[in-house]
Amino acid sequence: MPRWKRFAASAAMFATLVCASDCALGGPLLVVSEGNSEILRYDANTGAFMDAFVGAGSGGLSVPHFMTFGRDGNLLVGSTATGQVLRYSSSTGAFMGVFVPAGSGGLVTPQGLLMGPGANLYVADSGTNSVLRYDGGTGAFLGVFVTAGSGGLAFPRGMRFGPDGNLYVASGANNSVLRYNGATGAFMGAFVPAGSGGLSQPFDLAFGTGGDLFVTSELSNQVLRYNGATGAFVGIFVAALSGGLDGPTGIVFGPGGNLLVSSENTNEVLRYNGSTGAFLGAFVTAGSGGLNVPLALLFAPDALSVPTLSEWSVLLLGVLMFLVGWRLRAR
């Protein structure tokens, strides 16, 4: 093998090893910090604090709970205290304006935010106990998707569209997860009946890779697991107070398939084995970056990643590898 090819192969292997241990897998983790009305950003692999992506009170943000990315890729955040949905640049976090004004379509207290079919925005409004739908590009009101109190909906919070295309909503005030037709919003039944498995004040939910539904039970300090097809209780996935879990709120599956859960009362994001629920440690340590009452969790696209020193090293190594290889080949 020519010298330049051997060099290139060795350099490429070295770069791969460095990146495997130090480079981010996808974009960073965004965390709603309700106590100081910020959106904080953390490294997706290590949980290290990066910055306050959306600064305290930016654009009038007050008491945020949930967030999502809009049709244009920019960040949408529900400002519950002002009854608005605000938009921020996905590249800088700068305020871009009010996306959904207060009172639009009857909006009072935006909680769960979700981009759904047609790339439209769905907002769970705990002030009216309904789910409202808006144009995902303009924020224009498109109509009431789930009517007030449908199926007993009370204090709706986290929402997800399931593998079946239907909408699942955590109904906090009656300790259940309700299911609605993903096309019409018609009530389809209590997917997780009130109190099933000890469910007490559900905040957020996530579907796992195997299709099962995982729900944070805020008042019992647990994460509960339900059959993703029937809603039947499968078992306690994260035991009460495991790893210090106190007031679980936001939930998301992260790199390596592990489960990340916000611990509201200890100002941490904790990590658990995605298969067994065993505690793996604090992913975001208590108060890191000023974290105060963490709620919703969201992984950002790669565009929001900031290269680390290791990643810049890999990039420079790649350029060096190319230049040296080119010189050796030219001899």
**Domain-by-domain residue ranges, the chain?**
24-307
What is the share, in percent, of the chain residues with pLDDT greater than 90?
82
Are 47 and 285 in contact by the 8 Å Cβ rule? The answer is: yes
What mean pLDDT is predicted for residues 271-280?
A: 98
The pLDDT of residue 302 is 67
Helix, strand or coil, per DSSP, at residue 9: helix
Among 11-25, 117-131, 157-171, 190-204, the least confident range:
11-25
Among 16-20, 173-177, 221-225, 242-246, the least confident range:
16-20
Residue 263 CB contacts under 8 Å (≥ 6 apart), including other chains? 244, 245, 246, 247, 248, 269, 270, 294
pLDDT in tens, 186-213: 999 999 999 999 999 999 999 999 999 9
The pLDDT of residue 115 is 96
Beta-bridged to residue 214, according to DSSP, are 206, 225
Query: Is the pLDDT confidence value at 40 over 90?
Result: yes
Helix, strand or coil, per DSSP, at residue 273: coil
Q: Is the pTM of this model over 0.75?
A: yes
Query: Is the pLDDT confidence value at 284 over 80?
Result: yes
The pLDDT of residue 142 is 98
Distance separating alpha carbons of residues 145 and 238, to the nearest angstrom:
33
The pLDDT of residue 255 is 85
φ/ψ of 308, rounded to 5, equals -85, 175
What mean pLDDT is predicted for residues 157-186?
A: 98
**Which pLDDT band holds residue 26 (cuts at 50, 70, 90)?**
low
| Mean pLDDT over the full length of the chain | 88
pLDDT in tens, 52-73: 999 999 999 999 999 999 999 9
**Which pLDDT band holds residue 247 (cuts at 50, 70, 90)?**
very high
Query: Is the pLDDT confidence value at 312 over 90?
Result: no
315 or 204, higher pLDDT = 204
Domain 24-307, CATH:
2.120.10.30
Query: Is the pLDDT confidence value at 42 over 90?
Result: yes
Query: Is the pLDDT confidence value at 152 over 90?
Result: yes
Are 82 and 50 in contact by the 8 Å Cβ rule? The answer is: no
DSSP string, 59-94: GG--SEEEEEE-TTS-EEEEETTTTEEEEE-TTT--
